[in-house]
Amino acid sequence: MGREEKDADNGDISRLAASHAAELRAQLVELLKQGLAFKNPLIESAFLTIPREHFLPPELTLEKVYTDDAIVVKYTDDGMPSSSSSQPYLMADMLEVLQLEPGMKVLEIGAG
């Protein structure tokens, strides 16, 4: 079963899903910190605040979204992976190498 983002009139399910996603985001950040993924606190903050699930297919569970794995998001007609969301640890490492400062923007484009 995929993520529940909206349902009840009062939005309880949406709030519950958002809260659960925030918990899983924090757990992933802690896992990445154990691997020394964050030297720049701005990158750690970005990983804590930007919802990865907004960039992935809605049928994925939050538990799958918040693993330290690359996630295939598109396949060719013959079933071969053709697009993916990068592994979070790799994303953090790439962002660290860029030596980002406040106000800078990044667009990741895969070429593999």
Q: Which residues are catalytic?
A: 86
CA distances from 28 to 8, 22, 52, 56, 64 (A): 28, 10, 11, 16, 11
* Closest listed residue to residue 16, CA positions, set 33, 32, 3, 29: 3
Structure tokens at 111: 């070429």
Helix (H) or strand (E) holding 71: strand 71-75
Q: How far apart are CA 60 and CA 46, in angstroms?
A: 21
Amino acid symbol at 29: V
